[in-house]
Homo-oligomer: A and B are copies of this chain.
Amino acid sequence: MIEKKSKEKYSISELAGEFNISPRSIRFYEEKNLLNPKRTKGNQRIYAKSDRARLKLIMRGKRFGYSLEEIGEMIGMTSTDFDEIGQINKSLEYGIRKLKEIREAKAELEMMEQDMLKVKDKLMIRLKEIEGANKQAGEGR
């Protein structure tokens, strides 16, 4: 049997559809060296699973407010050109820094969540106040 699993190759618009972005964006990410898909003999882009995974990482970074440059540095970390110990150590350091950032961001998100909950509570209280006042005043129609 020949090797073939589920979905091995994707076209640019397939990925665009899946991630809800434009093909232009994907090409743009390639311009910035965040992606590097193979091509058909007719020069059209074909994305492998690994490319799709990278795009996923890109989108994740974006959703979190990272610039493409930062994302490039982050996912560059996963590239497979570690030939020197120095490189690995640099990557490790970088990763550790990013981990710190991520954890800080998580903490901030939790603060935001708390803020939101507080505002929500206030709104609820205010609602009840108004309802109470209306009840008191007997404002039917």
Contact = CB atoms under 8 A, between A and B. Distances in A.
Contact of A127 (B85, B106, B124): B85
Q: What copy number does this chain have within its complex?
A: 2
24 contacts: A57-B115, A60-B108, A60-B111, A62-B65, A64-B64, A65-B65, A78-B119, A82-B126, A85-B127, A85-B130, A88-B123, A88-B126, A88-B130, A91-B119, A91-B123, A92-B123, A95-B120, A95-B123, A102-B112, A102-B113, A102-B116, A105-B109, A106-B109, A106-B110
Contacts of A60: 108, 111-112
Secondary structure of the A contact surface, majority rule: helix
A62 B105 CA distance: 11
A124 B113 CA distance: 35
Nearest to A78: B119
A120 B108 contact: no
Contacts of A109: 64, 102, 105-106, 109
Given A63-B108, A102-B113, 14 more contacts: A63-B65, A64-B65, A64-B105, A65-B65, A78-B119, A82-B123, A82-B126, A85-B127, A88-B123, A92-B127, A95-B123, A96-B120, A106-B109, A106-B113
